[in-house]
Amino acid sequence: MRNGLARLRDRWPLLAGLAVLIVLVAYPVALLLVQSIFPEALAGDFSGPFGAYMRILTTDGVPEMLWNSVRWAGATTALAWLLGVPCGYVLARTNLRGKAIARLMFLVPIMTPPYVFALSYTLLMLPGGFGDSIFGEIMLGGVPEWLRSLFFSFWGVTFVMAISSFGYITLAVEAALRATPTRLEHAAAMLGASRSAQFRLILLPLLRPALLNAGLLVFLDAISNFGVPAIMGPRANLPLLPAEIYALVTSWPVDFPLATALSSLLLFVAILTLLINQRLLRRTQHASGRTTQTLEHTLRPLGHVLIWTGLVFIFLLTVLLPYLAMLLSSLVDRWAAGTPELTWRHYQALLTPGSRGLGALWTSLWLSLSAATICAALGGFIAYAIARFRGPLATLLDVTAILPRVLPKIVMAIALIMAWNAPWVGGLRLYNTVWMLLVAYIALYLSDALRYGDAGMRQISPRLEHAAESLGASRAQSFGRITLPLLWPSLLAGWLTTFIACMRDLVASVILLPPGVETVGSFIFNQFEQGEIAAVMAMATLVMILSTAVLLFVQHAGQRSGQRSGHQSGRRSGRPQR
């Protein structure tokens, strides 16, 4: 008994991390599942089990919305693969000139919220919109009607979501190819296999883990995405489940039982997708050994021209056109005889002291800074606990930690409403306060910071800590003086990723919005519904500028910190610095 208590006391980081995740993640999800089965569970009534699920069968359009959501997420993933795999291959396996520029072209869409793409392309493709004005001189009559009708359809909505997420596939494929031994390709080439045969028969099976894991993230982001369906779904006649869940919890009369049942359907689809993904991963091939050189196919001049032509076309679709529409619509006062009259008044209105826009920007900024800092600290702590301890508790902590990344965000938002609006919460009632948004951001994006922390901990040998402890240092001292400085770059990357995710958040900001408070996401969504397009695009432009400024500042600070630590390490070791 005493030994068991001592063992638990030594494993307090595991217990502390597990307690945090139970409060933030496990408790809300468990409550949502209970509420979906027993519609009146929060009132203490457990009669009529599965009543909300029975209502699903009798509610018009629900099966169609579920099927639309699944096939739309699947089509988005397939298109993201189609775009991302060739781009990743070009970056990793060719001597293309200007790879740094090409890689930046793929990163910009990742930083852009999908709903901004939806807004920008909607403005481009609407009759009489920017597309007709911009391309009127090039194409007689502006945007062709066949292209307009194709855009406002299932495939147009799929295209918008795919261009905002294919960069994940590109970066995953590039990283996997750089870590893949090249001897198999050399051997196949010596036996006369063409490059297409090498890719199809050798590289594609080896790339399966990267493709499945990145594809899983794209699928889950798509099936739970709220902004793109809300903006384009009505025009494309594409009813999707997240938009219906939003309507059930925000429109009178509020129907939480049906909303939780529909949310649990998305949850079951996400879990089923995860299980299928894991089963496919178990059947993947694994390459053994280490690559000693980078295999790059030498491109002829014509090859450089053709590849860059394709990359410029992708850049036109993913960056230039939507950003041009965003910037123009934020500056245009009105169109006079086909010529836009530009003005700064939309930006001035947003930045006027006391304005709704400036209040929303400030609220999102301090919430994102706070959530990113807390997520980075908790993510690093939990990653340390998972990496340095073994056993059932560590496994349970790891599984619980990954739940927010697997669960659809709209499901987590509904679960948080149930958890923090329950009768037994009492004086800790967070719902309808700004602190509810902070808790939601931490719960939704903690797993992102944790993944960076986990990757960093895998690169730090525990022998360094053991050596320090053998010389008399405590575990806290070895962590603070050895592990934390080595983990700092990963924590910084996790902080930056979480900050950008919170600044562009839409789901939690709209569903959990307390009275009298606005964030960037809720401001953009509400102004769009009121037809204030110029204010929407001005806010989107300001957010992109602010996020880019924070990105550059953090990267510069991280580089200076790394240089200082390198100089200090060199002085301690007696090595001269170059």
Q: Please give the Cα distance from 110 to 92 (Å, whole number).
A: 19
Q: Are residues 32 and 79 in the same domain?
A: no
Is 70 exceeded by the pLDDT of residue 565? no
Is residue 331 situated within a structural domain?
Answer: no
Specify the pLDDT at position 568.
Answer: 47
Is 50 exceeded by the pLDDT of residue 196? yes
Is residue 106 situated within a structural domain?
Answer: no
Is residue 269 situated within a structural domain?
Answer: yes
Is 50 exceeded by the pLDDT of residue 575? no
Q: Are residues 431 and 467 in the same domain?
A: yes
Contact present, 92 and 177 (Cβ < 8 Å): yes
Specify the pLDDT at position 362.
Answer: 93
Lowest mean pLDDT among 14-18, 333-337, 475-479, 501-505: 333-337
Q: Are residues 374 and 444 in the same domain?
A: yes
Q: Please give the Cα distance from 35 to 415 (Å, whole number).
A: 9
Q: Please, which residues have CB within 8 angstroms of residue 511's CB and are 6 or more apart in sequence?
A: 246, 249, 250, 410, 413, 414, 417
**Cis geometry, peptide bond prior to residue 253 (ω within 30 degrees of 0):** yes
Is residue 114 situated within a structural domain?
Answer: no
Q: Please, which residues have CB within 8 angstroms of residue 501's CB and are 6 or more apart in sequence?
A: 444, 445, 448
Q: What DSSP state is assigned to residue 88?
A: H
Stretch 358-378: mean pLDDT = 93
Lowest mean pLDDT among 287-301, 423-437, 446-460, 464-478: 287-301
Stretch 433-451: mean pLDDT = 89
The whole domain housing 81 covers 60-100+142-288
Specify the pLDDT at position 71.
Answer: 93
Specify the pLDDT at position 411.
Answer: 84
Is 90 exceeded by the pLDDT of residue 422? no
Is residue 575 situated within a structural domain?
Answer: no
Question: Directed axis angle between helix 484-503 and helix 434-457, to 10°?
Answer: 140
Is residue 578 situated within a structural domain?
Answer: no
Lowest mean pLDDT among 103-112, 159-168, 297-306, 468-477: 468-477
The 10 Å CB-count burial string (b at 16+, else e) for 49-72 is eebbbebbeebeebeebbebbbeb
Q: Are residues 444 and 391 in the same domain?
A: yes
Specify the pLDDT at position 573.
Answer: 42
The 10 Å CB-count burial string (b at 16+, else e) for 440-469 is bbbbbbbbbbbbbbbebbeebeeeebeebe
The count of residues in the chain is 578
Q: Tens digits of per-residue pLDDT, 243-273?
A: 888 888 877 777 888 888 888 888 888 888 8
Specify the pLDDT at position 288.
Answer: 45
Question: Directed axis angle between helix 533-573 and helix 356-388, to 10°?
Answer: 40
Q: Which residue has better confidence, 576 or 169?
A: 169
Q: Tens digits of per-residue pLDDT, 402-420?
A: 777 777 788 888 889 888 8
Q: Mean pLDDT, the chain, as a whole number?
A: 81
Q: Please, which residues have CB within 8 angstroms of residue 266's CB and are 6 or more apart in sequence?
A: 69, 223, 224, 241, 242, 245, 408, 410, 411
Kindly report the backbone phi and psi dihedral angles of residue 334, in degrees, each rounded to the nearest multiple of 5, phi listed first: -165, 165
The DSSP line for 385-399 is: HHHH--SHHHHHHHH
β-partners of residue 94 are 297
User: Tokens in use for 369?
Assistant: 């800074």
Alpha helices in 226-344 (DSSP H): 227-236, 241-250, 256-282, 301-315, 321-331
Distances 146 to 125, 142, 143, 150, 290 between C-alpha atoms, Å: 11, 12, 9, 6, 51
Q: Are residues 95 and 14 in the same domain?
A: no
Q: Are residues 30 and 166 in the same domain?
A: no
Contact present, 69 and 246 (Cβ < 8 Å): no
Q: Please give the Cα distance from 224 to 240 (Å, whole number).
A: 9
Q: Are residues 283 and 368 in the same domain?
A: no
Is residue 299 situated within a structural domain?
Answer: no
Contact present, 260 and 52 (Cβ < 8 Å): yes
Contact present, 8 and 15 (Cβ < 8 Å): yes
Q: Are residues 31 and 165 in the same domain?
A: no
Structural domains of the chain, count: 2
Q: Which of 288, 323, 340 is the last residue of a domain?
A: 288
**Cis geometry, peptide bond prior to residue 49 (ω within 30 degrees of 0):** no
Specify the pLDDT at position 312.
Answer: 92
Contact present, 383 and 457 (Cβ < 8 Å): yes
Q: Are residues 522 and 377 in the same domain?
A: yes
Q: Which residue has better confidence, 426 or 369?
A: 369
Task: Check: pTM over 0.75? Answer yes or no.
Answer: yes
User: Tokens in use for 225?
Assistant: 């995405």
Is 60 exceeded by the pLDDT of residue 16? yes
Is 50 exceeded by the pLDDT of residue 31? yes
Specify the pLDDT at position 70.
Answer: 92
Q: Which of 257, 288, 319 is the last residue of a domain?
A: 288
Q: What DSSP state is assigned to residue 288?
A: -
Q: Give the residue from 265, 218, 209, 220 showing the smallest Cα distance to 241.
A: 265
Stretch 36-48: mean pLDDT = 79
Q: Which of 227, 260, 288 is the last residue of a domain?
A: 288
Distances 123 to 120, 129, 130, 152, 265 between C-alpha atoms, Å: 5, 6, 6, 12, 33
User: Tokens in use for 27?
Assistant: 């408790």
Q: Are residues 370 and 466 in the same domain?
A: yes
CA angle, 105 then 547 then 412, to 5°: 100
Q: Are residues 421 and 389 in the same domain?
A: yes
Is residue 105 situated within a structural domain?
Answer: no
Kindly report the CATH number assigned to the domain that includes residue 424.
1.10.3720.10
Specify the pLDDT at position 7.
Answer: 59
Q: Please give the Cα distance from 210 to 196 (Å, whole number).
A: 19
Q: Are residues 546 and 505 in the same domain?
A: yes
Specify the pLDDT at position 366.
Answer: 94
Pairing status of strand 332-336 against strand 339-342 = antiparallel
Stretch 218-241: mean pLDDT = 86
DSSP 3-state percent helix, strand, coil across the chain (nearest 5): 75, 0, 20
Q: What DSSP state is assigned to residue 240?
A: -
Q: Please give the Cα distance from 392 to 25 (Å, whole number).
A: 19
Q: Please give the Cα distance from 21 to 412 (Å, whole number).
A: 13
Specify the pLDDT at position 375.
Answer: 93
Specify the pLDDT at position 158.
Answer: 94
Dihedral Cα 315, 318, 322, 323, nearest 10 deg: -60
